Structure 1
């Protein structure tokens, strides 16, 4: 006979499994319909006939006059997201190291300003930033989409708290050996921060990859559209092609899933620190 404790454990596992299926079913539905025969798209919970027609239509360019717009938009999203994330990471590391490990007048004030600025919604600066980008000639360019997203106060806050937990003895020993602040920062402090770096990288890349409003304002020409912008614009003209729209949505989410799976272990370690 199965004891009461085992029955309770089995029930909890089944309940958790049901909740998990409910949470991931929309994504499963999206993936299945991207491969479903067009006659069954949005007609059944689980399509029974499948084909690659939606993907062939999508990757072939569909009815667009631009050759392969979705592939071009995918690479635009990758360039913009990767560039912005790298700049955000580098700037956050440098600012956070100074705030955490270098003693200078006004350091506490800057820390408070960073914390205070995190409570401001980013949309407040949307119009001023757009006007500046337009005046300096970066409108409808990669730099116009990348540079305004080159600083993350959230990343500065996370790195600063982590760097403060690193013993100063490591830094003092490196200085006695003649290491500069840049060498200490990138060769000692940063390698000791792999777990939190993974968390910050994943969140920053995901946030930038899913950005819509800013890219929609800055990207004017069809060749500069990111995948998010193209997908949002295609709901009207391509509304009669739900299969390819599901395929485009899968294409949009695929990099995030792959990156998360690659860094899952470090992500868990970093999250343990952030929850302490």
Structure 2
């Protein structure tokens, strides 16, 4: 009995050690980025763990540092916030309404739309890149917020997730609400949405993260400096600003902060929603 307990503790200790090593391997790249963003410029990318730290990289971002030319980082940051929030809200709004119709309303062509959603989810989005760009140019939206928002306003993945969730809600709730005179819109926002807080947190976080990290489309449809998003501005640092690795790391850290904050706020609901989506 004593021997078996020792073996069990040994196996448990080995698992903890392996888990710790794997965790460090996954976390260290981000930790390396954070440390180098605060590192003295003489030590950036010179050591695995810098020994001298300063705020020079962040000062360079917001004031231009020793270059003396302020980079439009705050403007690009707010552009990313505006575009990401607007796109995510529209994707959530359209996703909820379309999913409710597909899950709970009977109308001709519902199965065809369902099949189209499933088919389009596996359709390479990059194939539509040029047609979408030409349409944006034709309607005069090039180099505007709308060029970055409207083409990203619908998420078939959000429609798919909400549809599956709404199908699991018993029809008795809807029938009872209709007997009380509730419209479909009232049922959707008074009954269905409060019941779907967990899955909404999952969809919201994934959509926000996907839109926040978008680069290719934003790079194509804007050209003026005052319309650049943070991702596009960050990508430009690999060109003329490639000799400033410290600020590059600092900008990368700033890019991840909103996502970390969102996960910290909605972490509990996110876990609950993931449990449902994996069932």
TM-score range for the pair, normalised by the shorter chain length: over 0.9
The C-alpha deviation readout for 1:216-262, integer Å capped at 9, x for no partner, is 01111000000110011121111111111100000111111111111
The C-alpha deviation readout for 1:181-223, integer Å capped at 9, x for no partner, is 1010011101100111011001100000000010001111000
Question: Structure 1 residues 64 and 9, CA, compared in 2 at 3 Å: closer, same or farther?
Answer: same
**Aligned twin of 2:45:** 42
The alpha-carbon deviation at position 68 of structure 1 amounts to 4.2
The C-alpha deviation readout for 1:25-83, integer Å capped at 9, x for no partner, is 00000000000011111110000110011111111145485x54111111101100000
The alpha-carbon deviation at position 109 of structure 1 amounts to 1.2
Q: Give the one of 162, 170, 184 matched to 2:165.
A: 162
Q: TM-score, normalised by structure 2?
A: 0.96
Q: Secondary structure at the match of 2:134?
A: helix
**Aligned twin of 2:131:** 128
CA distance in 2, matches of 1:35, 1:152: 37
For the 8 Å contact 1:61–1:70, the answer to whether it is kept is: no
Q: Give the one of 175, 179, 193 matched to 2:178.
A: 175
**Aligned twin of 1:192:** 195
Q: TM-score, normalised by structure 1?
A: 0.97
**Aligned twin of 2:110:** 107
CA distance in 1, matches of 2:23, 2:73: 31
CA distance in 2, matches of 1:178, 1:110: 28
State the Cα RMSD in Å. 1.2
Question: Structure 1 residues 64 and 80, CA, compared in 2 at 3 Å: closer, same or farther?
Answer: farther
**Aligned twin of 2:277:** 274
For the 8 Å contact 1:99–1:111, the answer to whether it is kept is: yes
Query: 1:140 and 2:148 equivalent?
Result: no
For the 8 Å contact 1:36–1:47, the answer to whether it is kept is: yes
Q: After TM superposition, where is structure 1 displaced by more than 6 Å over at least 4 residues in a row?
A: none
The alpha-carbon deviation at position 91 of structure 1 amounts to 0.2
For the 8 Å contact 1:76–1:224, the answer to whether it is kept is: yes
Query: 1:97 and 2:96 equivalent?
Result: no
Number of aligned residues:
275
**Aligned twin of 1:11:** 14
For the 8 Å contact 1:61–1:69, the answer to whether it is kept is: no
Query: 1:249 and 2:255 equivalent?
Result: no
